Amino acid sequence: MASVEFHLPDLGENISSGDVVTVLVAPGDTITQDQPVLELETDKAVIEVPSPVGGVVTQVHVTAGSKAAVGQLIMTLESRDAAPGPTATPAPSADPPSAPTPASTAGGVVEFRLPDLGENVASGDVVQVLVKVGEQVAQDQPVIELETDKAVVEVPSPAAGTVTEVHVQPGQKASVGQVIISLSTADAGAAAAAAARATAPTARTAPAVPAPPAAAPAQPAAPTPTAAPAAPTGEPRVATPAGHAGVGRPLVAAAPSVRRLAREIGVDINHVAGTGPGGRVSADDVKAHARRPPAAGATPAAPTAVASGPAIAPSAPASSGLPDFAQWGQVERQPMSNVRRITAERLTQAWTQVPQVTVFDQADITELERWRRDNGKRVEAAGGKLTPTAIALRVVATALRRFPDFNASVDMARAELVYKQYCHVGVAVDTERGLLVPVIRHADQKSLVELAVELSQVAEKARARKLSPDDMQGGCFTISNLGSIGSVGFTPIINPPEVAILGLARATHQAVYRDGQFVPRLILPVSLTFDHRLIDGAGGARFLHWIVQALENPFFLLLEG
């Protein structure tokens, strides 16, 4: 056996350490590769840290309640097949370690596994399978469409060959490392190497899905009695944290948020039957277990301390606090899409963590609309549309250079302001799946025609579910236009870590008093929401007034530069 030292891996950007919430293993335990060994609470979430190899734990170097830093020694184990990642250091051994192969071969058949999907993305929903058994595929040909928290991406085949088996179906969730398709190829060795390169993960954090940024920090696990009752015959025995009864049994599969829910409502997750893939326990499984009456002779779990508040009916879901709506009539529950869920999480984070102020104004765009109609054909000939949003995109790009506070981010952890020397502007697009915000890069360096063409292209990609994660990252400022739908005004919510967002409502003809008489003018309501930690009310008003001036006079930008 080879002795392997497992050090705490990289936890993500700007995270150098965390607090150990629970140690999930003890000396003498036999663990498998990717089995969680501890729960760690960082500034952003509680995550499970998996072991890079399987083997027998010989020593645990951290305890619950202690702080662990990236690179710190976490545990030592003996492994026959030590295949250490960047955080596992093997001691010298006579048995040379062999790294696991992401794509295995057998008789000329290559198993292609889902590759790394990017930072903090461990799985996705299969939208469409693009190949079928018996079909010839070329290298880099897309084989499935996968919807992650950020976008729908096409997953290409790492090698050419004939599809012998498809292991996923539309609607199914696929995880990184899961077998997607099997290929029969003439050169299985080279194909396997290509698949291995495609599947090899970059330096990433634990594959557990993090809790939403705005969620309250998880509390340490409640102590478990030292003598746990034996599980009934035929029921799978599962592990409990180190130092408690049952150490050495297989660990129940559940996300940190599910474990936290079980602790909060007093459910021993080790006794919950999982209905997910591979017996994984979901939040619904925990709630269902909590609603079941205890078996005869069973000792009820000790409740954990919770904040005082109004009592909830026993039939209500324990985590949401919602009443049982079915008592008043028929209801239907549908799972959130990934886009809707991540939108809800980000907007909750923005609303609870960023002090936001909204100012309103009106722009007389009578002359701008006349100019837009006169020049629209030229832009259409180039492949775009001269829309009010495209014009606002050009105006905002120029304004961000003149008002650098609006092209910045607030780093409270370091007490610093981050001023960006680039200008990438996001534009909210309404799609069937929800609100998506593709980013127009270097908007300040492009002409109005170029911006109009690119805006038309990214909007079409968004509606056709063709945006990649990179298409929606790196924005400095966002524009949201509800004018085509119809609204007299609204307060847009900031898209963190940006510090401002511009809202455009529906333009209407109004009677405006000028030179002693009322004249019809086209008036556009505009609103600006900004982060009050960086921008004061006067600064927000000046920025929006500058936007209004630029919209009212198409030649204003020439004068202002």
- 471 against 86, higher pLDDT: 471
Q: What is the pLDDT of residues 365-400, one digit of tens each?
A: 999 999 999 988 999 999 999 999 999 999 999 999
Strand partners, 75: 6, 60
Query: Where does residue 459 rank: exposed (0-12), middle (13-18), buried (19+ CB within 10 A)?
Result: buried
Query: Given a cut of 90, is residue 530 above it in pLDDT?
Result: yes
- Place 192 in a pLDDT band, splitting at 50, 70 and 90: low
**CA–CA distance from 512 to each of 515, 520, 523, 524, 556 (Å)?**
10, 6, 9, 13, 22
Q: Distance (Å, rounded) from C-alpha 242 to C-alpha 398?
A: 58
Q: Distance (Å, rounded) from C-alpha 382 to C-alpha 446?
A: 14
Query: Given a cut of 50, is residue 316 above it in pLDDT?
Result: no
Give start and end residues of each alpha helix (H) in 296-387.
338-353, 366-381
Selection from 293, 490, 530, 522 nearest residue 406 by Cα = 530
- Per-residue pLDDT, 305: 36
- Please give the average per-residue pLDDT across 405-412, as a whole number: 95
- Per-residue pLDDT, 440: 96
Q: What is the pLDDT of residues 413-457, one digit of tens each?
A: 899 999 999 999 999 998 887 888 999 999 999 999 999 999 999
Which amino acid belongs to residue 132?
K
**CA–CA distance from 38 to each of 24, 74, 77, 334, 467 (Å)?**
5, 9, 14, 33, 36
Q: Distance (Å, rounded) from C-alpha 189 to C-alpha 379?
A: 52
**How does 227-241 read in b/e, with b if 16+ C-beta sit within 10 Å?**
ebeeeeeeeeebbbb
Residues 6+ apart with CB under 8 A from 509: 520, 521, 522, 523
Q: What is the pLDDT of residues 460-471, one digit of tens each?
A: 998 888 888 888
Range name among 55-69, 162-176, 262-276 with the lowest pLDDT average: 262-276
Query: Given a cut of 50, is residue 479 above it in pLDDT?
Result: yes
Per-residue DSSP letter, 91: P
Contact status, residue 2 vs residue 97, Cβ threshold 8 Å:
yes
Q: What is the pLDDT of residues 148-180, one digit of tens each?
A: 776 777 888 888 889 999 999 988 888 888 888
Query: Given a cut of 70, is residue 477 above it in pLDDT?
Result: yes
**CA–CA distance from 312 to each of 132, 269, 480 (Å)?**
50, 22, 39
Selection from 496, 413, 500 nearest residue 212 by Cα = 496
Which amino acid belongs to residue 268?
D
Contact status, residue 125 vs residue 172, Cβ threshold 8 Å:
yes
Query: Where does residue 452 rank: exposed (0-12), middle (13-18), buried (19+ CB within 10 A)?
Result: buried
- Per-residue pLDDT, 251: 56
Query: Within the chain, what is the greatest distance between any pair of CA atoms?
Result: 98
The residues assigned a catalytic role are: 532
Phi, psi of 282 (to 5 degrees): -105, 170
Q: Distance (Å, rounded) from C-alpha 194 to C-alpha 354?
A: 45
Q: What percentage of the chain has pLDDT greater than the value 70?
A: 74
User: Which residue segments constitute the domains of the chain, with CATH numbers given?
Assistant: 1-100 (2.40.50.100), 105-199 (2.40.50.100), 341-560 (3.30.559.10)
Strand partners, 425: 440, 477
3-state secondary structure of 544: helix
Selection from 71, 67, 73 nearest residue 43 by Cα = 67
Give start and end residues of each alpha helix (H) in 413-555.
448-463, 537-552
- Please give the average per-residue pLDDT across 351-376, as a whole number: 93
Residues 6+ apart with CB under 8 A from 470: none
Q: Distance (Å, rounded) from C-alpha 285 to C-alpha 273?
A: 7
Token pair listed for 330 = 């028929």
Selection from 459, 499, 463, 504 nearest residue 480 by Cα = 504
Residues 6+ apart with CB under 8 A from 220: 21, 22, 64, 65
Q: Which residue has the tokens 């948020």?
A: 257
Query: Given a cut of 60, is residue 240 above it in pLDDT?
Result: no
Query: Where does residue 373 rank: exposed (0-12), middle (13-18), buried (19+ CB within 10 A)?
Result: exposed
- Per-residue pLDDT, 559: 66
Which amino acid belongs to residue 379?
V
pTM, whole model, 2 decimals? Answer: 0.50
Query: Given a cut of 50, is residue 189 above it in pLDDT?
Result: yes
Q: Distance (Å, rounded) from C-alpha 378 to C-alpha 384?
A: 9
Residues 6+ apart with CB under 8 A from 458: 427, 429, 438, 440, 467, 471
Q: Is the peptide bond before 497 cis (omega within 30 degrees of 0)?
A: yes
CA dihedral defined by 228, 233, 235, 238, rounded to 10 degrees? Answer: 40
- Per-residue pLDDT, 47: 80
- Per-residue pLDDT, 99: 37
Q: Distance (Å, rounded) from C-alpha 395 to C-alpha 287?
A: 51
Residues 6+ apart with CB under 8 A from 558: none
Please, what is the average pLDDT of the chain? Answer: 78
- Per-residue pLDDT, 439: 95
- Per-residue pLDDT, 203: 37
